[in-house]
Structure 1
Amino acid sequence: QDLMKFWQSLFEQSQRTQFGWVIALMQDWRDGKIQTIEQLRSYLMTTEDNLQPQPPPTSAPTVLQTDDTFPQIVENIETQDTELLPIQLVSLENAGKSDVGSQRDHNEDSFGIQTQIENQETPTEKIIQAKGLYVLCDGMGGHASGEIASQVAVDTIKQYFKVESSWSVGLPSEEIIREAIIQANEVIYEINQQEVRSGSSRMGTTLVMAMVYDTKVAVAHVGDSRLYRLSRQGGLEQITLDHEVGQREINRGVEPEIAYGRPDAYQLTQALGPRDKNFVRPDVQFFDLDEDSLLILASDGLTDNDFLENNWKNLLEPLLGKQANLESGVNQLIDLANQYNGHDNITAIVIRALVKPQKGVAEY
């Protein structure tokens, strides 16, 4: 429907007399005879077969007069609407919370958020230019001073990108993101070395981070803290894969039941701090926001026992609505997680990014 409306707008703006088949196409659409992509594809292909060669134009044709645009439209009909209408960000909000859990006496999780949002308004629309840095760390369970390690990692990443100018006009490169994480590792590692910590007394932390620049997103992680994406079309998607023994074995081709049947299946294969930079290999990914989305950063206290997979429909999907209160939603999320997974600290950051197609006519 959006594609047909767009074509109608183009034809109305044209200065030329329309072909009869164009008029018929528009009339069939208004009469409800063309309602699906397949019906439109069939109509265009039939029309192409029936068209007779036209006399050469007396003047140079406009873009709309070039008949060879229509086979291309037929070929790309499924994605034409999004290609013609680039996406722009209209809202970027966030809420974060950390809870000690019902069975712990101290909280080893930490998180940090830095955002810069510039509103731009015209008489006809309101848009924003925004960038945000979101970091969540979980101090390693069973390790002394895990809360120190997680806070040091958050502070180091925030400070790195506070002075780093590489993302003043876009997201930083994969190399720069890795460099920031390695720097956080080295700060914690040096503390361990200076205090001559060994074995389980060496402090460490997981890390998951997201960087948003308008409709572009970068995600990086070390350990088993996760990032999920939620959208109406895609549902809940786990973007990161845990750095733990069980997942490592699956990556090697082992069946999941066997991989997670090992007694050490949930042991981390990497974390920040215990070892030097040669043992830290952050995963970094990039993707675009092409529809309204939530990004959820979570410690394992929230994700254990498939809590999000089993409860996202009721707890998270309503937060896609622009009127929904994110802070209340995150509070409710953590309260219920405490009933399921209160054995550990629970931390979540929820980012809501709302988008829309840009106004104006796109070029072919």
Structure 2
Amino acid sequence: MKDNHQLLTHPQKSTPKMGSVSYQEALKKWSERPTQLLSSSQSLSSLESVGRTDVGRERTHNEDYFSIDQQYFCTPDLPDGSYRGLYILCDGMGGMAKGEVASELATKTLRSYLNSRWQRHLPTEIGLELAMNTANKAVYERNQREQRTGSGRMGTTAVVVMVNNSHIRYVHIGDSRLYRLTRQGLQQLTTDHNAYERALQRGYSPEEAQAYGPQLTKALGPWSGESLHPQSQTLAVEEDTVFLLCSDGLSDHNLLENHTQSHLMGLLDFRTDLANGIDQLMTLANQKNGHDNITAVAVRLRPQQSSV
């Protein structure tokens, strides 16, 4: 059973705040702005991030957990500076107040592993897979030590995003998602690891696949890891972009897809306050999806303007 922590706030900004405008003004002004695609080799001129989590309206405790690490470097060999960010979101399960143990343990294990191996360049895709396996082992061994069995075994989903200037690498396990928002719209980058998606991959129609439900087919902790096989992806940021990590309490019922215009597109205007925008999104999610814990980590990036 998925049970899904008190309100946590970790806003981080690596750029001076611009003049504030209302959300509706930002949405109108952004819609009038021409798209400008930039070379994938461009560095960033701005990197901002905000994280929020809420217990929801029906749960008694919060089993979501997230972490934000963000830095700006300026060295002799990088006179223009370099942005780096590590963002992790985990959604625990296991009941009896153990879901939050799994999500916190996995988050801290991933954070420690990746930060200790991150030098100048992003860890490789294999490195991200090894990080997931290490987090899986930490939760799995906790289950073994406590002799937890069946539905009493704790586990957690995980979605990890790493930013190195305009280069992004991400990996996930379970049904916590990563979305990319640009002026072209909202795109879901991850595919849920659950019975419904597995049925679709096996050729069932969406109507037939509904019968298989949302049960997770992959998670960190319940199993030893032989079948984990997380797949990471790499991409480049070529225009103003917001990446959104979210637990299923936020993504349920197509909430983000159904409210892209009203609650997301304005976030692409850097004069808007990212924290305020995410607060509004969390309020909406509590109204629509308050049956579960709700967590969001938003990462807003702006590439350097081309000098050409």
TM-score range, shorter chain: 0.7 to 0.9
Residue aligned with 2:121, SS? coil
Show the 5 A alignment for 1:225-304.
225-232=176-183, 234-260=184-210, 262=211, 264-304=212-252
Offset from partner CA, 1:324-358 (integer Å, 9 cap, x none): 11111111110110000000000000000011344
Q: Kindly indicate whether the alpha-carbon contact (under 8 Å) linking 1:178 and 1:282 is maintained by their aligned counterparts in 2.
A: yes
Residue 90 of structure 2 is aligned to residue 137 of structure 1: yes
Counterpart CA distance in 1 for 2:135 and 2:97 is: 18
SS in 1 for 2:160: strand
Residue 94 of structure 1: how far off its partner (Å): 0.2
Higher fraction of strand: 2
Correspondence for 2:271: 323
Q: Provide the secondary structure at the position in 1 that maps to 2:232.
A: strand
Please report how far the alpha carbon of residue 280 of structure 1 lies from its aligned counterpart in structure 2 after TM superposition. 1.4
Partner of 1:196: 147
Quote the Cα distance in structure 2 between the aligned partners of 1:283 and 1:177: 9
Secondary structure (helix, strand or coil) at the match of 1:151 reads: helix
Q: Which has the higher helix share?
A: 1
Report what 1:210 is aligned to.
161
Residue 255 of structure 1 and its aligned partner are, at CA, apart by 1.3
8 A Cα contact 1:86 1:358, kept in partner: no
Tell me which residue corresponds to 1:335.
283
- Asked if the contact 1:86/1:357 (under 8 Å) is kept, the reply is no
Indicate the SS of the match to 2:287. Answer: helix
Q: 1:178 aligns with which of 129, 133, 144?
A: 129
User: Residue by residue, what CA displacement relative to the aligned partner does 1:256-286 show, whole Å, maximum 9, x if unpaired?
Assistant: 12112x1x32000010001102131212111
**Which residue of structure 1 lines up, in the alignment, with residue 116 of structure 2?**
163
The answer to whether the 8 A contact 2:94-2:152 is kept is: no
Q: Does the Cα contact within 8 Å between 1:143 and 1:204 map onto a contact in 2?
A: no
Who is 1:109 aligned against? 64
- Aligned pairs, how many? 271
Residue 30 of structure 2 corresponds to which residue in structure 1? none
Q: How far apart are 1:312 and its partner, in Å? A: 1.6
Structure-2 residue corresponding to 1:352: 300
Q: Deviation of residue 169 (structure 1)?
A: 2.3
Percent same amino acid among aligned pairs?
Answer: 44
Task: State the TM-score, normalizing by the size of structure 1.
Answer: 0.71
Question: Of the two, which has the highest radius of gyration?
Answer: 1
CA distance in 1, matches of 2:270, 2:214: 37
SS in 2 for 1:154: helix
CA–CA separation in structure 1 for the residues paired with 2:81 and 2:264: 24
Quick check: 2:43–2:82 contact (8 Å CA) kept in 1?
Answer: no
- 2:122 and 2:160 map into 1 onto residues whose CA distance is 13
* Residue matched to 1:72: none
- TM-score using structure 2 length: 0.84
How far the C-alpha of 1:82 sits from its partner, in A, is 5.0
Q: Which moved more, 1:236-245 or 1:282-291?
A: 282-291
The unaligned stretches of length 5 or more in structure 2 are 1-35
